[in-house]
Structure 1
Amino acid sequence: MNKTPIYFVPGLAAGPEIFEHLELSPEKYELHFLKWKKPLALEESITNYAMRMTEDIKEKNPVLIGVSFGGIMVQEMSKFIDAKKVIIISSVKTNTELPKKFKMAKFTKAYKLFPTTIISNFVDFTKYFIGKSLKKRAKIYKKYLSVRSKSYINWSISAVLNWQQEKPIKNVVHIHGTKDKIFPIKNINNIIEVKGGTHIMILTKAKKISKIIDETLTC
């Protein structure tokens, strides 16, 4: 039995660790986890970046799966390779699905004032997290938000806000949580709903998402 190759792209500033709770049959699927590359420059287009990401794909006709910004990236990557299926999780299919606050940030250029130093030096800041709940959250952030390069963070924020996709690409499956506060479901159409799913449901509802992925690829 030939295994279906799947390439995963994590969310903004996240590493492949965010996919560790997925339960996909190793007899059916061959899993590959891509890492973020260093942008060539702040002005590098998302199109050029996506083309460079596809250089790490060795199999033909793979499945591409991306979370959040990774969902945007796999859609861009699919423009350079023949993908069997594109699955996005907690993401958007077009720039019209971005919330108003994102559009306002783009219009006012306020995103350029975002304190990226806080993320790039996140490990240093977590020592100030007080209380059991905050310390637990800090531990999670340190583990999963592992990409802290300031140049990458600046580039990726700009890439999200300036994404030019106006119409959904073909062959895309969109899995989205009903309680996603980053990309509110009210702005989004044509999805597979995950009840109670938040923006980090790849961690909290991995079993449900695994089932949806498997059903999508075997139907």
Structure 2
Amino acid sequence: MSKIAVYFMPGLAASSAIFERIALPEDIFEIHLLEWEIPQKQESLSAYAQRIALKITQPNPVLIGVSFGGIMVQEIAKYLTVAKVIIISSVKSNLEFPRRMKIAKTTKAYKLLPMRLLLNVENLARFSFGDTVRKRLQLYEKFLSVRDLGYLEWAVQQVILWDRTTVDTNVIHIHGDKDDVFPIKYISDCIVVAGGTHVLILNKYRWLNTHLPAIILGTYQPTPRR
């Protein structure tokens, strides 16, 4: 029997190293790690998603994305036949954005962000993963690999201006109840990970390793949060 291909997409500015603690049964699953590429000049989110989709060569894959990677895999799924789309610490539409992100879109305040300052790993860690990472800078030095100014400007704009308002009900959403980037009070219909922060891919990897196989296979029975 052929193995189930599972493709992982990391969060904003992160490398696939964030998945190094994720282990799926090797007799059932085949893990593939995707990386961010530098966007082309004025490249749309759709065009970028199509470009990344070309790297997914296995049939009927499972796509798993974290944070901005969760947005990306939902866009990639438009161009492929996929078995499942699973997002972690992310959103299913812009209706799940916190107020500050909606205000940033309306006021275009995101254009005022000092992107050059974010190239510093400490600032980038706070921006990408929230304020709770100050004691983990050595760890994030390893995981935050994309420090290209053009990429950061592009990525932030793509998140803020994401225009999806209709949720794909087939998307499976895993979210921590302590997420400070996408607070859970704005999130609906998700599998809640107690104590999970925006970086639950790192600090709740044991939960994921225990439950992801069943979630992928469709045998996990969550209680949706509404």
Give the TM-score normalised by the residue count of structure 1.
0.92
- Cα offset for 1:118? 2.3
Counterpart position of 2:10: 10
Tell me, yes or no, if the aligned pair for 1:11 and 1:68 is still in contact at 8 Å: yes
- Cα offset for 1:122? 2.9
Tell me, yes or no, if the aligned pair for 1:4 and 1:28 is still in contact at 8 Å: yes
Give the TM-score normalised by the residue count of structure 2.
0.89
- Cα offset for 1:185? 0.5
Tell me, yes or no, if the aligned pair for 1:23 and 1:207 is still in contact at 8 Å: no
Deviations 1:74-132 (A, max 9, x none): 00000000110000000000000000100111111111111221232438999xxxxxx
Where do 5+ consecutive residues of structure 2 fail to align? 126-131, 220-226
Tell me, yes or no, if the aligned pair for 1:178 and 1:185 is still in contact at 8 Å: yes
Q: Summarize the Cα distance change of 1:209–1:124 in structure 2 as closer, same or farther, 3 Å threshold.
A: closer
Tell me, yes or no, if the aligned pair for 2:174 and 2:191 is still in contact at 8 Å: yes
Tell me, yes or no, if the aligned pair for 1:94 and 1:166 is still in contact at 8 Å: yes
Counterpart position of 2:223: none
Length, aligned pairs only: 212
Q: Summarize the Cα distance change of 1:125–1:198 in structure 2 as closer, same or farther, 3 Å threshold.
A: closer
| Aligned amino acid, residue 34 of structure 1 | L
Report SS of the residue matched to 1:56: coil
Counterpart position of 2:151: 152
Report SS of the residue matched to 1:146: coil
Distance across 2 between alignment mates of 1:85 and 1:184? 24
Distance across 1 between alignment mates of 2:116 and 2:141? 15
Counterpart position of 1:201: 200
Report SS of the residue matched to 1:78: helix
Distance across 2 between alignment mates of 1:78 and 1:211? 25
Counterpart position of 1:130: none
**Same amino acid, percent of matched pairs:** 46
Counterpart position of 1:129: none
Report 1:82-121 matches (<5 A): 82-121=81-120
Distance across 1 between alignment mates of 2:80 and 2:169? 13
CA RMSD in angstroms, aligned pairs only: 2.0
| Aligned amino acid, residue 184 of structure 2 | I
Q: Summarize the Cα distance change of 1:26–1:162 in structure 2 as closer, same or farther, 3 Å threshold.
A: same
Counterpart position of 1:60: 59
Distance across 2 between alignment mates of 1:134 and 1:92? 21
| Aligned amino acid, residue 207 of structure 1 | R
1:34 and 2:34 aligned: yes
Q: Summarize the Cα distance change of 1:187–1:85 in structure 2 as closer, same or farther, 3 Å threshold.
A: same
Distance across 2 between alignment mates of 1:141 and 1:46? 26
Report SS of the residue matched to 2:142: helix
Counterpart position of 1:172: 171
